[in-house]
Structure 1
């Protein structure tokens, strides 16, 4: 009889400890930008999506990256419900756009 109570106690402790485990950690969304354009990306700017679908160029956006040389990549955490991404060269011209980006999931952007 003592054997059954020990087994029952051990199973009860295992069951209770399994139920008290913490929730799994959720990995933050990542944005990976790969520059294959042949020119240095001076800045990557994120601006909130506009309601009418037209993006406001370079107006108070957040600078996500600077001086991304050709053949290089950058990875950083980026979570948004909706953003327009624009890559500018040294002369201030837009060389790539990614419109209406939402994360998660992760995003890889190839600038060609």
Structure 2
């Protein structure tokens, strides 16, 4: 009788610990996927912000910016990849730039000359 009760305890302990391990692994997997997605979004934000700062620094040389094949080029050098849409309106004293980066971030920037 005592041996059968001990065996039942071991089986029950194994079942409970297996359930805990399985759900812990699912939770860990979800956390890893969420962190990877958030990391990609933050990298995209950094890329778009650094591009905005670059445009502010070089607002007198905006005619040297070229957009082709979803890439932005400055003086023939690659500036930013994965740009889905880009438009530059240089009218009067205000420069308007509309940019869509990798369908994740869409922004409209306005700079004074």
Task: Tell me the TM-score range normalised by the shorter chain.
Answer: 0.3 to 0.5
Q: Which protein has the larger Cα radius of gyration, Structure 1 or Structure 2?
A: 2
Considering fraction of residues, name the structure with more helix. 2
TM-score by length of 2: 0.34
